Structure 1
Amino acid sequence: MDAFKGFGKSLTSLGGQIAPMASRTFQYTKEQLGQAEDKTQLPPDYIDLEKRVDALKAVHQKMLAVTSQYAHEPYDYPPNIKETFSDLGRTVSEKVNLLSTATSPAEAQAALTAPPSAKPQPKTFAHALARASLSGSQALHQQHSGAGEDPLATALEKYALAQERVGEARLAQDAQIQSRFLAGWNTTLNTNLSFATRARKGVEKARLTLDAVKARVKGTTWKLGATPRADTLDDHELSNEAQEEIERAEDEFVTQTEEAVGVMKNVLDTPEPLRNLAELISAQAEYHKRAYEILSELAPVIEGLQLEQEANYRKSRENAS
Structure 2
Amino acid sequence: MDFGNLGKNISSLSAQITPFASRTFQYTKEQLGQAEEKTQLPPDYIDLEKRVDALKTVHQKMLAVTSQYSNEAYDYPPNIKETFQDLGRTVSEKVHLLTTASSPAEAQAALTALPTAKPQPKTFSHAMARASLASSQVLHQQHTGVGEHPLAAALEKYALAQERVGEARLAQDAQIQTHFLNAWTTTLNTNLMFASRARKNVEKSRLNLDAVKARAHGTTWQLGHSSSRAEEPQSHELSSEAQEEVEKAEDEFVTQTEEAVAIMKNVLDTPEPLRNLADLIAAQIEYHKKSYEILSELAPIVDGLQVEQETSYRTKLDSTS
TM-score calculated relative to the size of structure 2: 0.97
Q: Does 1:256 align with 2:256?
A: yes
Match of 2:7 in 1: 8
Match of 1:147 in 2: 146
Match of 2:316 in 1: 316
SS at match of 2:73: helix
Task: Name the CA distance, whole Å, in 1 between partners of 2:156 and 2:173.
Answer: 26
Task: Name the CA distance, whole Å, in 2 between partners of 1:10 and 1:30.
Answer: 30
Q: Count residues with an aligned counterpart.
A: 320
Instruction: Specify the code of the residue in structure 2 equivalent to 1:31.
Output: E
Following superposition, the deviation at residue 236 of structure 1 comes to 4.2
Following superposition, the deviation at residue 72 of structure 1 comes to 1.1
Task: Name the CA distance, whole Å, in 2 between partners of 1:291 and 1:162.
Answer: 9
Match of 1:215 in 2: 214
Match of 2:110 in 1: 111
Following superposition, the deviation at residue 20 of structure 1 comes to 0.9
Following superposition, the deviation at residue 32 of structure 1 comes to 1.2
Following superposition, the deviation at residue 239 of structure 1 comes to 1.2
What do residues 18-46 of structure 1 show as CA deviations (whole Å, max 9, x unaligned)?
A: 11101101111111111112000000010
Task: Name the CA distance, whole Å, in 1 between partners of 2:79 and 2:5.
Answer: 68
Task: Name the CA distance, whole Å, in 2 between partners of 1:178 and 1:156.
Answer: 32
Following superposition, the deviation at residue 5 of structure 1 comes to 3.2
Q: Does 1:24 align with 2:20?
A: no
Following superposition, the deviation at residue 231 of structure 1 comes to 5.1
Instruction: Specify the code of the residue in structure 2 equivalent to 1:52.
Output: R
Identity across matched positions, percent: 77
Following superposition, the deviation at residue 247 of structure 1 comes to 0.5
Further displaced range: 14-23 or 118-127:
14-23
Show structure 1 runs of 4+ deviating over 4 A.
230-236
Following superposition, the deviation at residue 220 of structure 1 comes to 1.7
Match of 2:243 in 1: 243
Following superposition, the deviation at residue 7 of structure 1 comes to 3.3
Match of 1:197 in 2: 196
Match of 1:285 in 2: 285
User: Which residues of 2 match residues 62-73 of structure 1 at below 5 A?
Assistant: 62-73=61-72
Following superposition, the deviation at residue 229 of structure 1 comes to 1.4
Match of 1:271 in 2: 271
Task: Name the CA distance, whole Å, in 2 between partners of 1:39 and 1:260.
Answer: 19
Q: Where does structure 2 lack aligned partners over 5 or more consecutive residues?
A: none
Instruction: Specify the code of the residue in structure 1 equivalent to 2:182.
Output: A
CA contact (8 A) 2:220 2:229 kept: no
Instruction: Specify the code of the residue in structure 1 equivalent to 2:306.
Output: Q
Task: Name the CA distance, whole Å, in 1 between partners of 2:21 and 2:297.
Answer: 73
Following superposition, the deviation at residue 278 of structure 1 comes to 0.6
Further displaced range: 155-164 or 220-229:
220-229
SS at match of 1:198: helix
Task: Name the CA distance, whole Å, in 1 between partners of 2:220 and 2:149.
Answer: 92
RMSD over aligned Cα atoms: 1.4
Task: Name the CA distance, whole Å, in 2 between partners of 1:234 and 1:299.
Answer: 93
Following superposition, the deviation at residue 15 of structure 1 comes to 1.4
Further displaced range: 18-27 or 217-226:
217-226
User: Which residues of 2 match residues 21-100 of structure 1 at below 5 A?
Assistant: 21-100=20-99
Instruction: Specify the code of the residue in structure 1 equivalent to 2:128.
Output: L
Instruction: Specify the code of the residue in structure 2 equivalent to 1:270.
Output: T
SS at match of 2:219: coil
What do residues 201-231 of structure 1 show as CA deviations (whole Å, max 9, x unaligned)?
A: 0000000000011111112231212221145
Instruction: Specify the code of the residue in structure 2 equivalent to 1:221.
Output: T
Further displaced range: 24-33 or 7-16:
7-16
Match of 2:167 in 1: 168
Q: Does 1:307 align with 2:307?
A: yes
What do residues 48-94 of structure 1 show as CA deviations (whole Å, max 9, x unaligned)?
A: 10000000000001001111111111111111101100000000000
Match of 2:228 in 1: 229
Task: Name the CA distance, whole Å, in 2 between partners of 1:128 and 1:122.
Answer: 8
Following superposition, the deviation at residue 131 of structure 1 comes to 0.3
What do residues 264-301 of structure 1 show as CA deviations (whole Å, max 9, x unaligned)?
A: 01111111111111100000000000000000110111
Shift of the 234–164 alpha-carbon distance from structure 1 to 2, 3 Å rule, reads farther
Instruction: Specify the code of the residue in structure 1 equivalent to 2:258.
Output: E
Match of 1:121 in 2: 120
Instruction: Specify the code of the residue in structure 1 equivalent to 2:242.
Output: A
Following superposition, the deviation at residue 146 of structure 1 comes to 1.1
What do residues 102-155 of structure 1 show as CA deviations (whole Å, max 9, x unaligned)?
A: 111100000000010111000101000000000000001001111111111100
Match of 1:185 in 2: 184
Task: Name the CA distance, whole Å, in 1 between partners of 2:223 and 2:35.
Answer: 12
